[in-house]
Structure 1
């Protein structure tokens, strides 16, 4: 066990320093980008360069992009590495929405910013901070979702409750998940609300929409005994309380954040909705780390009972950071692996809503570093997107 912990500590410390501190300077450019498809199949990209969030678009599946438009007019220290990156979404009406995390002077502190374009990306309105709490604390790792009806949800990791507990001399594990909702196409957000206490501190939050417009969040949670499994909850109606439920049961014990968030997608279209597809990483509790794995499972959205998890990916090649996409009965899983100095992009497909899966296929193999994979869909087109240092943006139709 000591050998395993020694190796894990060095992995986690190196990763944590990278994820926490690596984005606090003005990047020349970052591999950590976000992309979205609009109703006309135009590909939109949000990226960070020299302290600015820049938005550009492509009409030729990523072969070329328009001249970038700056979203923030004052340079900031912006989270753009690993689990932290600017987010972009496009509404059914063509509005472009962007959120990002500004790193503040205090370690691990930040603000969540939001901006919109109402003229098809030509210009962006003045950005503003989503949350009303302006303490110089952790508000980080933002997630952005736009429902078919136009409601916008931004969720993030927040430490206001941890600091309040410490001030009161009370115990508190991890951070919390907060969210804010806009009902007016991003002109403003309602005051933020807490979804759950005791989240992990540095793992991305996965958001997915139901056919009825409601939004579900999945995040890594700190359970009793420092078990780092996952929780899931729907954003409640205004007159309801949140009802988080445990979603995974690996019981991985680690005193630190793995920087490895989950993926989530709604299962079933329209009246056929039955729950959620989930993908996540679990480090295992064996001495050598050989039981670490990526998992996929289906979750019944009413009973909150998941199917037996299925392992995927080659952990000897550091398989990780899965992406999920569901369109009707088709489901895709994509993930990144590393081998002999190369980065590999892998894909696996199910044609029966995740009940069975085809054999995994390697879709790309590039030298050097590469970002996490992204899966995009706009109702007509489905794409696998991968940003690489050596070969640029790869866009693969599914």
Structure 2
């Protein structure tokens, strides 16, 4: 019980340590999600005054339409750092949203979903995606809509869930961390199948990274609690068939030991397209095991999706500038990797580019800078071009073609 309490306190207050600069939460007014539709409009979802609001821009983020209110009533919504509302555009043009409502008990929540089938003019009455309605942790939702393959149009929602921890405690059995659960919809979000468990012993407060194989299969990567409280990453492909047993594979081997969740999830992108698919691009933060934190770093590696063997990890970013929260995007052999750093009170987004599938990289370049608070970087595509989206306190939403 003392260990669990310590973990919760760490997740909420982020007690001062050598790794705090990498893990502290962001201002909730900046935690947004964005997505392009097929017509090139940029859609944005955010939380304001307990409401989920959606608006669109036809001029690459310079101006936005009047927001459409999605939630009928105000909720306490997770909207800071690793937790934020999510948006995705389906291949049929539907707009999908998820978010986490915080409940009365600490660290508890429900995962909500809504969709628009009329081009964002209105959104349907929100629903809770999980059948389990206990007042426990269902948090840190992630949303994916398959756009290719046999699963085209399938909606997948993942989240961190503590029902198995509660059950283990009741039975007097040990249990590390939380678990990853998911729910899927094969009818464009009209309804969801009962949720399934993907894996036990996930970290408690890090975002889940999702991407798709060419056939539409969803791959997930999350920070995991390995033996000895090593907080490395695990990967799994979400089963296509109901009740199919998922295969989990360890993806990183930094062996960082920390009795708490670092609020620092990974980035994941598919490697190759169509018949040329070979696996995944991964980027993540590792805190090292030295007391000073000097060994903390960001890493990139390739993961072979068949043999589940990763390439040697490549360090990137400046630890002294609090390098953190990377994002990845791939289109064929072209791969973009961006992250945030802070220098002299200025927030900066730096990036690297690879034109050979991540085998080699160009030198890091400064892509954008803004004084004051800022969100984490987001990568997205429009008309086969990569874009960086970055929400800042001083300069608003910055959208740059890469």
Answer yes or no: is 1:185 the counterpart of 2:191.
no
Q: Secondary structure at the match of 2:166?
A: helix
Superposition pairs of residues 1-398 of structure 1, within 5 angstroms? 9-11=15-17, 19=25, 30-148=29-147, 149-238=152-241, 240-378=244-382, 380-398=384-402
* Partners of 1:76 and 1:12 in 2: CA distance: 34
* Partners of 2:23 and 2:349 in 1: CA distance: 25
User: How does the TM-score come out when normalised to structure 1?
Assistant: 0.94
* Partners of 1:81 and 1:156 in 2: CA distance: 16
Answer yes or no: is the 8 Å Cα contact 1:41–1:381 preserved in 2: no
Aligned pairs, number: 385
* Partners of 1:277 and 1:294 in 2: CA distance: 14
| CA drift at 1:341 | 1.1
Answer yes or no: is the 8 Å Cα contact 1:233–1:244 preserved in 2: yes
| CA drift at 1:382 | 1.8
Counterpart residue number, 2:6: none
Q: Secondary structure at the match of 2:164?
A: helix
* Partners of 1:214 and 1:16 in 2: CA distance: 32
Q: Secondary structure at the match of 1:186?
A: coil
- Render the CA deviation track for 1:226-251: whole Å, top value 9, x for unaligned: 00000000001225201110000000
Answer yes or no: is the 8 Å Cα contact 2:232–2:254 preserved in 1: yes
* Partners of 2:187 and 2:18 in 1: CA distance: 41
- Render the CA deviation track for 1:317-359: whole Å, top value 9, x for unaligned: 0000000000111100010001111111111100100000000
| CA drift at 1:301 | 0.1
Q: Secondary structure at the match of 1:10?
A: coil
* Partners of 2:296 and 2:31 in 1: CA distance: 25
- Render the CA deviation track for 1:181-235: whole Å, top value 9, x for unaligned: 0000000100000000000000000000010110000000000000000000000
Answer yes or no: is the 8 Å Cα contact 1:375–1:382 preserved in 2: yes
| CA drift at 1:379 | 5.2
- Render the CA deviation track for 1:78-115: whole Å, top value 9, x for unaligned: 00000000000001111000000000000000000000
Q: Unaligned regions of 5+ residues in structure 1, if any?
A: 1-7, 24-28
Q: Secondary structure at the match of 1:198?
A: strand
| CA drift at 1:14 | 7.1
Answer yes or no: is the 8 Å Cα contact 1:12–1:258 preserved in 2: no
Q: Secondary structure at the match of 2:206?
A: coil
| CA drift at 1:168 | 0.5
| CA drift at 1:12 | 8.4
Change (3 A) 1:75 1:14: farther
| CA drift at 1:164 | 0.4
- Which aligned runs of 4 or more in structure 1 are off by greater than 4 angstroms? 12-19
Q: Unaligned regions of 5+ residues in structure 2, if any?
A: 1-13
Q: Secondary structure at the match of 2:303?
A: strand
Answer yes or no: is the 8 Å Cα contact 1:175–1:197 preserved in 2: yes
Q: Secondary structure at the match of 2:169?
A: helix
User: How does the TM-score come out when normalised to structure 2?
Assistant: 0.93
Change (3 A) 1:376 1:260: same
Q: Secondary structure at the match of 2:29?
A: coil
Q: Secondary structure at the match of 2:16?
A: helix
* Partners of 1:15 and 1:184 in 2: CA distance: 43
Q: Secondary structure at the match of 2:47?
A: strand
Answer yes or no: is the 8 Å Cα contact 1:229–1:251 preserved in 2: yes
Counterpart residue number, 1:5: none
